Amino acid sequence: MKINIISIFLAAILLNSCKTMASADIIIINGKIITVDGDFTIAEALAISDDTIMSVGTNESILQLTGEKTRIIDLAGKTVIPGLIDSHLHPESASVSELYDEIPDVKTIIQLLDWIKSQAARKTEGEWIVFPKFFSTRLIEMRQPDLKELDMAAPSNPVFLNGSFGGMINSEAMKLSRINSDSDHPGIIKDKYTGRPTGFIRASAFSLLKLPEEKKLSYQEEQDALVEMLKRYNRYGITSLFSGSGDFESVKIYKDMSEKKILTARIYQNILLPTAGSVSKESVEAILKSYEGSTGSGDKWVRIGSLKVFMDGGILTGTAWLQEPWGEKAGKIFGIEDPSYRGIVNYSRKELFDIVSVANEFDWSFTAHATGDGSVNLLLDVFREVNMKKSIKEKRFSIIHGNFFSEEAIEIMKELGVYANIQAAWFYKDADAMVSILGNKRVESFHPNRSMTDAGVMINGGSDHMVKWDANTSINPYNPFLGMWAMITRKTERGSVVGSSESVTREEALKIYTINNARASFEESIKGSIEPGKLADLAVLSDDYLTCPEDDIKDIEALITITGGKIVYSNMKVP
Q: Give the tens place of pLDDT for each residue, 167-213.
A: 999 999 999 999 999 999 999 999 888 999 999 999 889 999 999 98
Three-class SS of residue 126?
Answer: coil
Residues linked to residue 367 through DSSP beta bridges, in sequence order: 308, 398
| Of residues 242, 108, 182, the one with CA closest to residue 520 | 242
Taking a C-beta distance cutoff of 8 angstroms, is the pair 330, 262 a contact?
A: no
379 Cβ contact partners less than 8 Å away, ≥ 6 residues apart: 311, 352, 368, 370, 399
Integer Cα distance of 191 and 196 in angstroms: 5
In 3-state terms, what secondary structure has residue 241? strand
pLDDT of 1:
39
Which segments of 58-213 are extended strands (E)? 71-74, 79-82, 84-89, 129-132, 159-162, 166-169, 188-190, 197-202
The answer to whether 120 and 130 have CB atoms below 8 angstroms apart is no
In terms of Cα–Cα distance, which of 488, 522, 520, 490 is closest to 507?
488
- Mind giving me the DSSP string for 310-360? E-B--TTTT-S--SS---HHHHHHHT---TT----BSS-HHHHHHHHHHHH
| Angle 563-37-458 from CA coordinates, rounded to 5° | 90
Q: What 3-state DSSP class applies to 186? A: coil
* Cα 270 to Cα 400: distance, rounded to the nearest angstrom: 11
The per-residue pLDDT for 124 is 96
Question: What letters, b where the CB count within 10 A reaches 16 and e where it falls short, cover 49-85?
Answer: bebbbbbbbebeebbebbeeebeebebeebbbbbbbb
Residue 20 has pLDDT above 50, yes or no: no
With respect to CATH, is domain 86-91+217-311+346-563 assigned 3.40.50.720?
no
The answer to whether residues 93 and 130 touch, using CB atoms and an 8 Å cutoff, is no
3-state helix vs strand vs coil in the chain, percent to 5: 35, 20, 40
* Residue spans per domain, the chain: 2-77, 86-91+217-311+346-563, 101-208
pLDDT digits (tens, 9 = 90+) for 21-34: 589 999 999 999 99
Q: Give me the residues paired with residue 162 across strands.
A: 132, 167
Q: Please check whether residue 264 is in contact with residue 563, taking contact to mean a CB–CB distance below 8 angstroms.
A: yes
pLDDT in tens, 501-558: 999 999 999 999 999 999 999 999 999 999 999 999 999 999 999 999 999 999 999 9
Instruction: List, for residues 445-483, the tens digit of each pLDDT value.
Output: 999 999 999 999 999 999 999 999 999 999 999 999 999
Q: How many residues does the chain have?
A: 575
CATH domain 2-77 topology: Urease, subunit C; domain 1 (2.30.40)
pLDDT in tens, 303-333: 999 999 999 999 999 999 999 999 989 888 8
Q: Cα(557)–Cα(238) distance, rounded to whole angstroms? A: 10
pLDDT surpasses 70 at 566: yes
Q: Is a pLDDT exceeding 50 seen at residue 14?
A: no
Check if the beta carbon of residue 470 is closer than 8 Å to that of residue 480.
Answer: no
pLDDT of residue 277: 64
First to last CA, the chain: 46
| Fold category of 101-208 in CATH | Diaminopimelate Epimerase; Chain A, domain 1 (3.10.310)
Instruction: Look at 160 and 9; give whichever has higher pLDDT.
Output: 160
Specify the pLDDT at position 7.
Answer: 46
The model's confidence at residue 233, banded by pLDDT at 50, 70 and 90, is very high
446 vs 31: CA distance, rounded Å:
38
